[in-house]
Structure 1
Amino acid sequence: MTLTTPALLFPAISLLLLAYTNRFLVLAQLIRELNQRDNSGLELVVKRQITTLRKRLHLIRAMQSAGVMSFLLCTLAMFLIFVEMPLLGSIFFGCSLASLTISLVLSLFEVHISTRAIEIELESMAAQP
């Protein structure tokens, strides 16, 4: 394995972390809007959303943590390859890929929960006269 192999992941991981940050910011804005919303008649919907929002916040934090860990491990792999320790560099690169995979699986789960949250909103809209 050469130094360029782990370097190929840098743009992908960077874009992934940017996407996760955007998801977090949108979620934070949604929470602020729910907090300021006139909740007359919508208490049940908001309470259902709170549970979902908490799960999503925890997932996004875990996604970001795994993504950052992947980035760090990839950097260490590059350093180890640079200082001519290719076996250890390969191990760190493999761990980086595993961490990236965990991050992506968590992201998939968060998308699933997000979709259910939108369905709760649609249910409340459909129930209103």
Structure 2
Amino acid sequence: MDITTPALLFPAISLLLLAYTNRFLTLAQLIRQLAADHGNPVLVARQIPGLKRRIGLIKYMQSFGVVSFLLCALSMLAIYAGRSPLGNGLFGLSIVTLAVSLLLSLGEVVISTQALSVVVEDIERRGPGGD
């Protein structure tokens, strides 16, 4: 393996971290809206456990993404320094941590869609007039 192999992962990880940051900012905005507008206390109460889980998942998603990025950079450094076996191992660890980050992201998406289902159920319960 040469230095270009881990270098190919750099843009993908960077874009992934940007997407994670956007998800975090959206979640932060949602939480602030819920705190400011207590429209339906039952709906808000049903959303809180999912919001807490999502915050934790996003924290770990970002952490594993950053570790993956760091390991990828260290892999390139090791290959550049002529330590190919070390570079290969670091690149393998980078892929593993990236996969963990993606699995956590999948879990966050599942929780997010469940939260949307709660809102849709509330809208259906209130009926077309929105009472």
TM-score by length of 1: 0.96
Equivalent residue, structure 2, for 1:69: 67
Q: For residues 79-94 of structure 1, what are the structure 2 equivalents within 5 Å?
A: 79-94=77-92
Equivalent residue, structure 1, for 2:2: 2
**Contact map agreement 2:65 2:98 (CA 8 A) in 1:** yes
Matched, 1:57 2:22: no
Equivalent residue, structure 2, for 1:125: 123
Code of the aligned partner of 1:36: A
Question: SS of 1:96's equivalent?
Answer: helix
Q: Distance in 1 between matches of 2:38 and 2:84?
A: 60
Deviations 1:40-84 (Å, cap 9, x if unpaired)?
A: xx2111011011000000000000000000000000000000000
1:106 aligned residue (91, 104, 107)? 104
Equivalent residue, structure 1, for 2:21: 21
Code of the aligned partner of 2:28: A
Equivalent residue, structure 2, for 1:43: 41
Matched, 1:95 2:101: no
Unaligned runs of 5+ in 2: none
Question: SS of 2:75's equivalent?
Answer: helix
Unaligned runs of 5+ in 1: none
Q: Distance in 2 between matches of 1:109 and 1:38?
A: 27
**Deviation beyond 3 Å, 4+ runs, structure 1:** none
Task: Give RMSD over aligned pairs.
Answer: 0.7
1:127 shift after superposition: 1.1
